[in-house]
Structure formats: structure tokens, C-alpha cells
Chain A
Amino acid sequence: MTYKTSSRDVKVLEATNLDIFPGEFVSLIGPSGCGKSTLLRLVAGLLPPSAGQILWKGQEILGPDRHRCLSFQQPHLFPWLSVQKNVEFGPKNRGLSRKEQRECSNYYLSLVKLTDFADSYPHELSGGMQQRVALARALANEPQLLLLDEPLGALDALTREHMQDELKAIWQRTGCAIILVTHSVDEAVYLGTRILVNSHRPARIIFDHPGMGHEGREAKNRAEFLALKDQVLSYVWD
């Protein structure tokens, strides 16, 4: 995969062979600029690959699809729509009836605990709340694969800890597969059922190991958690 800039083509991703399975929670971690976001955009179908192919259930990915939803570090909500209407954006596009849209948005707003803010506008919410709306908006399309590009990166440390647990709970309830790009080793190990580490550009996957995604918060204090963190960190710094 090469990425065109005005001055030169940057080779971003080296032959990456990767299979993602249903229900997996994959944490992807690696140095900045190593092409993690590019990988997500490719899988989302927002960017065509310059070489090779990406298959979704055996079919080549040709464009965006509601089953592969991408959410970003910044929530990028639609500021002219209320929280509820933001969440209904996807359901409306898939042609659900008004009643079904409302049921869908109510369900996912309750899942991210924002039922009371349905009629608020994005600019009236805190950063953490906005990110939860973005999550509900992505989930409302009931994707089979959720692509998260550092969704917790812009949050303060306390909110972030809390959101990690919410994310885990949501993943367990919905059963969708998740690819989470993160810069936090702690987050990668705690949330992922599988941890991938990318090398410097052109990126290759240099580490592929099961994570603690199925465990509860107490796992963070266990020796094996800390050992795994150290191991991941050694690969990231390599």
C-alpha cells in the first residue's frame, strides 16, 4: 500500500496478511505514522488499496458499507443535529421507518447512558459524552465490524479509564468484531482479545498475541498483565 502525497509516494503498508474473525476485539498498536489509520480507512472502504486486496467475507471491498463502521479520535458529530438525530443518521440512511429509527437510537443511547441527553446538541456536551454519542452513532448501524481510530485518545485519563470499561461492556453485549487503534499499551492489552503491533513504516505486523479482552478490570493488577504490557512495549520500541 503506497500513499500519495504531493511530493512523493510514501509506502505505508508492507504486504500485510491479516485475518480478522467474527467477535474478535483486535487492538492495533504501533509508532505514529506507521499506517494504522490508513489500514482502518482501507478496511472501511474509504480508501482503495494501491496494491493487493482486502476481502470482506470473501468479497473484495469496493466502498463503505454499514457493516464496517469507522469512528475517529475526534467524535466528528454533525453539529446541526441533536444527539438523537446524530444516532439516527445511519438507521435513516439504511431506510428504516421513523419508528424503527427512534427505537434504534433509544436503545443505543441507553447503551452509552445518554438517554437524558437525546435532545441536546453536540456542542452542549463534554468531550467524553460526545465520544459516547459517536460510539452510539456507529453502533446504531449494527455493524459486524467496528473500526475505532483512537476513540479514547482525546479524553482525560479518568474518563478514559471509565470509557475502556464501557467499550468492553458494549463489545460484550453487541458481539461485533472490533479493530481498535490505540497508542496506549495498557488499553491495547486490557481491551484486546488479540494484540497486534505494527513496525515503523513501511509497516509490518511484528507481534500477534492474545490479550486480556475477556477479563475484568481486576486483571490490570495481575502479574501476567504487567508482563504482557512489558512485552508489547518492547516490540513497540524496537
Chain B
Amino acid sequence: MFLYMQGKKELLSFGLGSISILGVFLIWYLVGELEVVSELFIPHPRSVWRAFLEVSTDGYRGGTLLVHLGSSLGRLIGGYFAAVFLGVPLGLLIGLYPKARILLNPLFEFYRPLPPLAYYSLLILWLGIGELSKITLLFLAALPPIIMNARAGVENIPLHRIDAARTLGSRPRGLFFQVIFPSCLPFIFTGLRVGIGFAYTTLISAEIVAAVNGIGWLVLDAGRFLRTDILFMAVIVMGVTGMVLDLLLRTLEQKLIPWKGYQ
């Protein structure tokens, strides 16, 4: 019964969500049909679809859509995974050891609110205009939320849960893998989702400077040449890709921690 209700509820929210998307599309379509605004500003959906087919097959300035998307996602994944593998252990460490927190916090608090673009020029200066500076930028963008959430995970473990484990014979060393780490998983996942969002929004910044491919670069370059149809298409592709990435993480989260939200 409960599952059925939940299914129905999901269907309802999906339906309502589709209505808003369809509504916007309809307005866009009407604007295009009635030629209210010049194609230069708002291209007809048909032109955008043609641009999609054109860039998908013939490519845009040396690469098909898939190539551009692929090189962007490659950078994203590179920077993001580095942030996950460093950020999660570091966050747990800061949460577990007050001394690590005292040592690292001032540094972290300084770097955390900096907009990534502020230090991007410096990264280019140090690491060159190739892939390394871009990946490093995405890495630095994804890192803070991952660290902060892993740390919050440790700080939010119910103390009685630790007591329960100890009274059931957990040794201090086993305690980490038996209780602390799994207890932190819901928070860690929140960090992973926010982190990929931060990295993704920084992607376009990373591709502003000295890139010759990538979906972010495609948006900028099409804008520069007033190819509004391609620009629209690329923005839509970026949006959909972002949604898919979040959906992937959410699905993984539901698989791994179905108990999230319960104590």
C-alpha cells in the first residue's frame, strides 16, 4: 500500500514537473512561430533542433557535440574524483581529530568562499593552459562541500550509537569501519551531490580561457559568433547533462543508503 502510494506520488510530481517544462516550451514555440522576436535573440525551436543535428553529425569547429561533451565530462570527472578521494578522508579526519581541525580550519575557511575564477589565472600561470589547470580548477571547486559534509557526518553521529557499538564489543580500531564510516554516508553523499554541482557550474569558467573544445567553450564560442541556435542547443544539453549526473548520484544514494533520513 505504502509503495503504491509512493509510486502514485512520484508519478504526480513527475506529471506536474512536466507541465512546467511543457509550458515554457510552448511559450518558446509560440514566440518562434509568431516571429515576435528576431531569431538572433530567440531562435525557433526548429532552428535549435537543426543546430543539434548539425553539431551532432557535422560538428562545430573541429568536434561533434559528443566530442565536446566528452572532453568536458572528462575534465569534470578527473577533477571531481580527485576531490572525492581527497575530500572525504580529509573531512573525516577533521571531524574525528580536533587537532586536525584546529590546524586546517583557518586555511580552509580562507579558501572556501573564494570564487574559483579568482584563482584560475594563478592556476594557469602555474600549470599552463592545458588540461591540468582546468582539472585542478574543477577539483578545487568540488572540494569544499565534500570536506564540509564528511566532517558534518562525523559531528552528527549519535553518541549513543558509538556507546552501543562499544558495549557490543567494538574495538576502537574496528569502530571506524563498523560504525563511524557507515554513519557518515548520508552526509558524505550530500557532499558528493553538492560537489558535483559546484564543479559543473565551474566547468564553463574553466573553458573560458584557452580552450578549443568542451561544451562550455561551445556556448561561449557560439555566442561570440552570434550562433544563437547553437548557443541555445548547448545550454539545453548542459542542463540535461547536469540533471542526468545528479540523477545518477541520487540513484546510487538510494541503492547504497536506503535508510537515509531515518535514525
Contacts and interface: CB of A to CB of B under 8 A. Distances in A.
B161 interface: yes
Top 6 A-B pairs, shortest CB-CB distance? A93-B169, A123-B262, A79-B259, A90-B168, A70-B167, A76-B164
Contact of B165 (A71, A89, A122): A89
Contacts of B255: none
Contacts of B259: 79-80, 121-123
16 contacts: A46-B166, A46-B167, A68-B167, A69-B167, A70-B164, A70-B167, A71-B164, A76-B161, A78-B161, A79-B262, A89-B178, A93-B169, A94-B169, A122-B259, A123-B262, A138-B167
Nearest to A123: B262
B168 A69 contact: yes
Nearest to B167: A70
Q: What range describes how many residues of B lie at the interface?
A: 20 to 34
Interface string B161-185: 1011111111100100011001001
**Which has the most chain A C-beta neighbours within 10 Å: B166, B169, B182, B257?**
B169
Interface string A218-229: 000000000000
A80 B164 CA distance: 15
A64 B262 contact: no
A137 B182 CA distance: 19
A182 interface: no
Contact of B258 (A45, A68, A121, A134): A121
B71 to A, nearest CB: 38
A53 interface: no
A44 interface: yes
A175 B214 CA distance: 71
Given A66-B169, A78-B165, 15 more contacts: A44-B163, A46-B167, A66-B168, A68-B167, A70-B163, A70-B164, A76-B161, A76-B164, A78-B179, A78-B182, A93-B168, A93-B169, A121-B258, A134-B164, A141-B168
A141 B170 CA distance: 12
A74 interface: yes
A72 interface: yes
B20 interface: no
B263 interface: yes
Contacts of A46: 163, 166-167
Contacts of A134: 164
A138 B169 CA distance: 11
Nearest to B169: A93
B262 A122 contact: yes
A64 B257 CA distance: 29
A93 B185 contact: no
Given A72-B160, A93-B170, A93-B174, A80 B165 contact: no
B238 to A, nearest CB: 35
B158 interface: yes
A138 B170 CA distance: 13
Most A-side CB within 10 Å, residue of B167, B178, B179: B167
A70 B161 CA distance: 11
Nearest to A143: B167
Nearest to A69: B167
Interface in A81-140: 89-90, 93-94, 121-123, 134, 137-138
Contacts of B164: 70-72, 76, 134
B158 A76 contact: yes
Contacts of A64: 166-167, 169
Interface in B133-190: 158, 160-161, 163-171, 174, 178-179, 182, 185
A57 B166 CA distance: 21
Contact of B160 (A76, A79, A93): A76
Given A76-B160, A78-B161, A122-B259, A44 B167 contact: yes
A156 to B, nearest CB: 19
Contacts of A69: 167-168
Contacts of B167: 44-46, 64, 68-70, 138
A46 B166 CA distance: 8
Contacts of A93: 168-171, 174
The listed residue with most A CB atoms (<10 A of its CB), out of B161, B168, B171, B182, is: B168
Contacts of B174: 93
B234 to A, nearest CB: 41
A26 B88 CA distance: 46
Interface string B88-104: 00000000000000000
Nearest to B158: A76
A130 B257 CA distance: 19
Contacts of B165: 78, 89
